[in-house]
Amino acid sequence: MIWTVLKIVLFLAVVAGLTLGAEALMSSDAGLRIAFANVEFTLGPIQMALAALLLLGALWLLLKLSGLLVATLRFINGDETAISRYFQRSRRKRGFDALTEGFIALASDDGDKALTKARSAEKLLENRTLTNLLIAQSAQAKGDTALAETYFKRLLDEDRARFVGVRGLMQQQIEAGNPETARKLAETALTLRPGHGQTQDTLMALQNKAGDWSGARRTLLDTSRSGRLPKPVYKRRDAVLTLQQAQAEAKAGRESVAQDLAIEAAKHSPELVPAAVMAAEALTARGKKRAAAKVIRRAWKAQPHPELARAFAGIEADETAAERVRRFDSLLSMVEGDEARQTRAELLIAAEDFPAARRAIGDLHERLPSQRVMTIMAAIERGEGSPDTVVRGWLARALTAPRGPQWVCENCQHVHASWHALCDNCTSFDTLSWKSPPDSTGPSATGTEMLPLIVGALPAAEPQVAEPEVEIDLQAPEPPEPAAAKPEAEEAETIEPEATPEPADASAAPPADAPTAEAEPAPTAPKPIDLEQTRRAGL
C-alpha cells in the first residue's frame, strides 16, 4: 500500500515538474539556464527536450531500482521468493492479458485466436487451471476433439475443475454419438455437484433415449427436490415416465408389474389418456370393473378420446350392442362434443339403428369432415340400403378428407400414429397432444379431388340377375374410367339373356331396353361395416 502511494506521489511530482519546465521554457527566449554553485549551463530548445527524456529515463530506472531494493530487503527478512516474484511480475501481467484476450475471442466464436492466446498464456502463467480450460474450450470450438479431450482430462486432476472436465468429456461423447458413455459421465458429474440443473436435464434426456425409465424417474425426483420443478409439472412428467416403464414391463412379459405401474401413472395424471386406457385394462383384468369405469370417466371428462371409448367398451366385453349403447349414455353425456357424436353413431351402427346413427352424426360431414366421419356416413348409407354408388361416393370422399385429430408434437408438429413419451422427430419429452394437425393438403397431382364426383355419380347399371353379396372394399376403390362404362353395360346385356329364363310367350316379353319389375334382382340384406377394420385400414 505504501509503495503504491509512493508511486502516485512520484508520478504527480514528475508531471508538475514537466509542467513548470514547459512554462518556463515558453517564457524564456534564450533557453534554459541552469546554475549550480559556480557552474552555469544554458540549454536551447533541443537540448532541453533531450534533457527531459533523460530525466524520464532516469526516473524510470530509479523506480525499477527502488522496487528491486524493496524485494532485496524482503528477501533478507526471510521471503525467499521475493526477488523471483519481482522479475516474474511482468511475465504474469502479460500472461493474464493473453488469457483475457483468449476468453474474449472464445466468446466471439473465434476459436483460432482463442487457441493462440491460450497457448501464449500457458507459457507465461504457472497456474494451469484457466489455461487448460481455455485451451480445451478453444479446441472444442475449433473442432479439434483430440486436443480438447486431452485438456479436459487434465482438468480432472484438480478438485476445483474436475466437474468442468467431466462435463466437457460428457459433451464430447454426446457429439460423438456415444450416449451410453455420456450417460455414465453425466451421473459422475451429478455426484460431484448434485442439483446442477443443466446436467440433470441432460442425464434425463439420455436416460429417456436409452429407455432407462426407472433411472429417469430418480433423476426427475432429484430435480423436483432441488426446487426446479413445480409440483404439478413433476406429477405429470413422473406419470409419463411411469407409463413408459409400464409399457416396457408389459413387453418384457411382467404383466403384474406393468399393471401396477399403469394404475400409478393414471393416479398421478388422470388426464393422460394412454395411462387411463392401460390402467382401465389392468383393473378390468383384475375384476375391478367399477374402478376401471371411474378411471375412464375421469379421463373422458378431461379430454374425450376414441381409445377411451374402446377401453370403456372392453369393460363389458360380452354385452349386446343395445346394452352397450345404454351403458355408454352416461359416459357420452359427460362431455357433448364431436367425439361423443362420432362414438354414439358408431355404437348405433353396431346396434343396426341406422336412422338414429344419422341423427347422432348430424352435420359433421359438412362442418368437420374427416376420414372417420365419411366412413361412418358410408356405413349408415350401406345399412339403410342405399345404392353402392352412394356408399362408394362416401368412401371416395374419405380418401381426400383430413384424418382428423392425431397425436401431434407441439414442438415440431410431427404426426405420430400412437402416443410416445418422446417425439420421433425432435426427441422432445412429453410434447404430444391429441389435436388436428396443421392442414397441409393441396391440389393433388393425380386429380384425386375429382374422385368423389366420379365415383359418387356413376350411372345406374342395367338390370341384372341377382348378384352375390359383395363386401365393400374400405381401402380405396379405384375410380372407373369413363370410357369403360359403355363396355360394361354391353357386357351386362350379353350376360343377361344367359342368366334370365326366357318367357313362354315371346311376344309378351318386354323389350330389352325397358326392364320390368319382374326382371329386377331381389334386394339383399345389407351387411354392416366392421368399424374396427375400417380404422385399421386408415379411414
What's the CATH superfamily of 230-318? Tetratricopeptide repeat domain (1.25.40.10)
Residue 241 phi/psi, 5-degree rounding, is -65, -35
* Integer CA distances (angstroms), 418 to 31, 52, 212, 472, in order: 99, 88, 20, 27
Question: 430, 205 in Cβ contact below 8 A?
Answer: no
Helix (H) or strand (E) holding 488: helix 485-499
- Taking the C-alpha atoms of residue 524 and residue 470, their distance in angstroms, rounded to an integer, is 10
- Taking the C-alpha atoms of residue 406 and residue 306, their distance in angstroms, rounded to an integer, is 11
Cell of 378: 358410408
Residue-level pLDDT, tens digit, the chain, 539 residues:
677 788 788 888 888 887 777 676 666 555 666 777 677 767 666 667 777 788 888 888 888 778 777 778 777 877 766 666 666 677 788 888 888 999 999 998 888 998 998 888 888 887 788 889 999 999 988 889 999 999 999 999 888 899 999 999 999 999 998 999 999 999 999 999 988 889 999 999 999 988 899 999 999 999 888 888 889 999 999 999 999 999 999 999 999 999 999 999 999 999 999 999 999 999 999 999 999 999 999 999 999 999 999 999 999 988 999 999 999 999 999 988 899 999 999 999 999 999 999 999 999 989 889 999 999 999 999 999 999 999 999 999 888 888 889 999 998 999 998 898 899 898 888 899 999 887 655 444 444 544 554 455 433 444 444 444 444 444 444 444 443 334 333 333 333 433 333 433 333 334 434 334 344 444 444 445 555 554 444 44
CA triplet 45, 49, 52: central angle to 5 degrees? Answer: 135
- Taking the C-alpha atoms of residue 499 and residue 450, their distance in angstroms, rounded to an integer, is 36
Residue 41 phi/psi, 5-degree rounding, is -125, 135
Beta strands in 327-374 (DSSP E): none
- Taking the C-alpha atoms of residue 93 and residue 99, their distance in angstroms, rounded to an integer, is 10
pTM of the model: 0.64
Residue with cell 429417469: 216
- Taking the C-alpha atoms of residue 445 and residue 454, their distance in angstroms, rounded to an integer, is 17
State the helix-helix crossing angle for 197-210 and 162-175, rounded to 10 degrees: 30
For residue 468, which amino acid is it? P
Query: Cα–chain-centroid distance for residue 233?
Result: 17
DSSP string over 87-132: HHHHHHHHHHHHHHHHHHHHHTT-HHHHHHHHHHHHHH-S-HHHHH
Question: 372, 342 in Cβ contact below 8 A?
Answer: yes
For residue 55, which amino acid is it? L
